[in-house]
């Protein structure tokens, strides 16, 4: 691995370019996340390098991820969720959803997605039931009782479903994807669930540690995880670092390898007896690599998960 002396390349509030984005970019997916504060960068201490090497080996054991070519989907699977009554909300979230006979059309073999750059391509589609079940994280197939809601009110009936093109947020701006627009009995507006098949667009990585990383020995004290990859410009990457009430002296680091770049930060220990206020803040650090990032994934030293450009901290 190459130990990189990471440099601060711009002052607070400065921005760097990015390799993702395109026409119609949505400000809600601003890659610089300019409302965050900055942190300095420094050569990584030995303990950070050793941990980065362990994490890199764990990632290789799990399988080094690839950098997606397409923009990453930021929208949830259900859009325009809003309910007129608490009973409707509870019933929907608990999977107490019924599809009215005759109201659900046959699913076409494929639909069309329009990417932020204006190009289009065919995508596979989920039927209404599968799309709703995905939006409800599987509770449609395994409904949960509605505690505190009378049984007659614990139901949502989908009277009609129409296949439409729905604008959604991605890391590259707005895309238009197939969705089922649901007309619900007793609800004053429709609910839309995305219909594009799994894998049609990349999704953000989960934030829980890779099992291979969770099995590693305890991380050294003062290690700070990276919570986002905010921008990429050749050999310069903007990374968000997780910080809190005792993160004074936080600095960012990168350790390069041929197949990945591991990023994070370190914080010196607080003075003995100092209380640490409980709050979370993401701080941006600009890291300069020895060569352009290219197709190498950027890996969080805390979780071993890939950070995808433009995905905000979760």
pLDDT in tens, 103-126: 889 999 899 999 999 999 999 999
Q: What is the pLDDT of residues 45-84, one digit of tens each?
A: 999 999 999 999 999 999 999 999 899 999 999 998 789 9
Mean pLDDT of 172-177: 94
Q: How confident is the model at residue 30 (pLDDT cuts 50, 70, 90)?
A: very low
3-state helix, strand, coil in the chain (%, to 5): 15, 30, 55
Mean pLDDT of 222-231: 94
Burial 135-145 (b: 16+ CB within 10 A, else e): bbeebbeebee
Q: How confident is the model at residue 134 (pLDDT cuts 50, 70, 90)?
A: very high
Residue of 157 and 26 predicted with greater confidence: 157
Q: What is the per-residue pLDDT for 273?
A: 79
Q: What is the pTM of this model?
A: 0.75
Mean pLDDT of 170-183: 95
Burial 119-132 (b: 16+ CB within 10 A, else e): eeeebbbbbbbbbb
Q: What is the per-residue pLDDT for 207?
A: 80
What's the rounded Cα separation, in Å, for the pair 145 and 164?
32
What does pLDDT average to over the chain? 86
Fold of the domain built from segment(s) 78-194: Lipocalin (2.40.128)
Q: What is the per-residue pLDDT for 45?
A: 95
Q: How confident is the model at residue 313 (pLDDT cuts 50, 70, 90)?
A: confident
Taking Cα atoms as reference points, which of 32, 6, 3 lies closest to residue 250?
6
Q: How confident is the model at residue 270 (pLDDT cuts 50, 70, 90)?
A: confident
Domain boundary assignment for the chain: 2-68+204-307, 78-194
**Is the pLDDT confidence value at 11 over 80?**
no
């Amino acid at each position: 691995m190459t130990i990189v002396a990471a440099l601060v390349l711009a002052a607070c509030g400065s921005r760097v370019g990015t390799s993702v984005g395109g026409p119609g970019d949505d400000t809600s997916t601003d890659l610089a996340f300019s409302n965050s504060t900055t942190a300095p960068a420094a050569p990584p201490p030995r303990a950070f390098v050793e941990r980065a090497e362990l994490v890199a080996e764990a990632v290789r054991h799990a399988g080094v991820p690839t950098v997606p070519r397409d923009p990453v989907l930021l929208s949830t699977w259900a859009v325009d969720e809003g309910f007129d009554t608490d009973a409707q909300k509870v019933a929907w979230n608990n999977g107490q959803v019924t599809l009215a006979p005759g109201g659900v059309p046959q699913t076409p073999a494929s639909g069309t997605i329009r990417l932020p750059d204006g190009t289009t391509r065919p995508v596979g589609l989920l039927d209404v039931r599968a799309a709703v079940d995905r939006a409800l994280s599987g509770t449609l197939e395994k409904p949960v009782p509605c505690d505190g809601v009378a049984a007659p009110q614990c139901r949502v009936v989908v009277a009609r479903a129409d296949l439409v093109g729905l604008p959604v947020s991605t890391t590259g701006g707005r895309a238009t994807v197939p969705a089922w627009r649901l007309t619900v009995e007793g609800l004053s507006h429709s609910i839309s669930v995305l219909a594009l098949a799994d894998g049609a667009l990349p999704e953000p990585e989960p934030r829980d540690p890779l099992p291979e990383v969770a099995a590693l020995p305890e991380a050294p004290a003062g290690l700070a995880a990276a919570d986002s990859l905010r921008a990429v410009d050749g050999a310069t990457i903007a990374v968000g670092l997780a910080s809190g009430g005792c993160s004074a002296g936080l600095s960012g680091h990168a350790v390069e390898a041929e197949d990945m770049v591991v990023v994070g930060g370190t914080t010196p220990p607080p003075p003995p007896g100092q209380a640490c206020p409980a709050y979370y803040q993401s701080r941006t650090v600009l890291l300069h690599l020895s060569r352009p990032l290219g197709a190498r994934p950027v890996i969080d030293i805390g979780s071993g998960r890939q950070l995808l450009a433009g995905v905000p901290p979760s």
